[in-house]
Chain A
Amino acid sequence: MSHGEIRERLDDYVDGCLTPERQAVIEAHLADCEDCRREVDFLRPLLAEARTLPPSLEPPTDLWGSIQQRIGRRRVRDHTLWSVRYQLAAAAMALLLLGSLLTVLLLRPEPVKVIATAPAVAAVPGFPAGWRETEDSYRRAAADLEEALAGAKPRLAPATVAVLERNLRIIDDAIAEARAALAADPANREVLEMLADMYAKKVDVLQQVTKLSAVL
């Protein structure tokens, strides 16, 4: 193998997923090539560290703390950022709650008839028990974020606003299709999951855009 080919395989070498023959070829090359030895020295601790990471992805570490605090202090005076933060926090809490609600909903063996008062969305006969409350929670979270985003729109370029609105319509159309499919087959838990995923996507996108628009 050439130096370049070996270089391409160093990550696999460090990962220990090469055949013994290729492993031997690379070890022979490493004995003579200081450049590749340095690359291996860099990759080893990286891999070891990455292996200790939690099994699920967490939101990014905020490297922006003090600048955000400064922005925050400035904007608290005109109540803008506080509103955004409140709405983001409220939406995040709503999402946590929704996760739990959905789990309970999906694990429930038999649908139970629930009489709800003043539903925010039209009740569909046959929908799983508890789904209406879950859907209302999603919609409230999305509405909070849409309100925050409306406040941020003057800071965004018209073309960006148009792009965001088009994509939110795409999500709304997907929600409507999944909802119609669930209405036709209320016992289908896979459709229910996909509908919940679409609602979660909408909240996630709104969170992302609201957060981004408040950054600068």
Chain B
Amino acid sequence: MAHHGLRLALLVTLAPAVVAAQQPIAEARSADPGGTVKISVPSGTVRVTGWDRDSVELGGTIGGGQRLEFGIQGRETRIRIVPVPDAREGGASALRVRVPRGSHVAIRTSSADVNVDDLQGAVDVASVSGSIRVSGNARTIYAESAAGSVDIEAYTKVVRAKSVDGAVTVRRAAGFVEVSTVSGTATVMGRNLWEGQVTTVSGDIRFEGGFDSPGSFRFETHSGAIALVLPSSVRADVDIVAFGGRVESDFGPAGARAFSTGPDGTRLTIKSFKGDIRIRRQR
């Protein structure tokens, strides 16, 4: 009985707008500047941008056979594109959403590509096969796609980016970084990194950046190549584990698998089962 009441309240609050064919939308609602915005779009594209107003503005088009739910409950704004019951097919939507810059934003898609820019709150994006791009200065970024690529360029202290098949790129990283993919290329560029890991199975690993010692960082792959470019002044305790691949390093004694480049350094663990490992000095 309580569930019936809740469902009714949600239906009234969300006031769905049924769209028969691909149609433009233009709606806006007041929103908490530090609230949460949850967006769910099956296919198409989603672009979310932060702005300095206390409102959420929605534009773009909704795919045929889809309907929009756009509602606010307390500090939470919900935007959902859902199929119309018995619709023959679900067309792709193209959503443009502007949200208060300090919002926490969570986006879920099936195949829709996601682009997030200029937010200062937490960003959490998950997609089955869509690609994900995040830029700006979000507080934290969690982004994962199973079959799509993940591309982050943001001065953010906590980044967690994962894919299975796609490339994962994190630029301007600082603080904590976790990057994972199976066969895609994992690329991390940043400064003042404290702790993190970059792992693949067959994908290559590329890293260029410096560390805020002391901390720890792990690079691990099974068969991908690992290429690290580190500052000449890097302070690190390096531990290399390699079985089949070649190891070349501009740092440490020739052929050494464990060495230190300075006191109180970052603990760097570099592991590859059969891929090559190259550690170069930044020029």
Contact = CB atoms under 8 A, between A and B. Distances in A.
A209 B124 contact: no
A181 B274 CA distance: 11
A55 interface: yes
A67 B202 contact: no
Interface stretch (A20-28, A58-66, A97-105, A111-119): A58-66
Interface residues of B, number: 58
A191 interface: yes
B273 A177 contact: yes
**How big is the A interface, by class?**
35 or more
B111 to A, nearest CB: 7
Report the 5 A-B pairs with minimum CB-CB distance, sorted nearest first: A50-B157, A60-B142, A63-B106, A174-B222, A167-B182
B191 interface: yes
Contacts of A167: 164-165, 182-183, 201
Contacts, number: 149
Interface of B: 3, 10, 36, 38, 40, 42, 76, 78, 104, 106, 108-111, 120, 122, 124, 126-129, 137, 139, 142, 144-147, 155, 157-158, 160, 162, 164-165, 174-176, 178, 180, 182-183, 191-192, 195-196, 199, 201-202, 212, 220, 222-223, 241, 243, 271, 273-274
A99 to B, nearest CB: 15
A135 interface: no
Given A61-B124, A160-B146, A178-B273, 5 more contacts: A42-B120, A181-B243, A194-B222, A194-B273, A208-B162
B178 A57 contact: yes
Nearest to B216: A55
Contacts of B126: 211-212, 215
Contact of A60 (B38, B124, B192): B124
Interface string A46-81: 110110010111001101101100100100000000
B42 A216 contact: yes
A42 B201 contact: no
Contacts of B120: 42
A55 B222 CA distance: 26
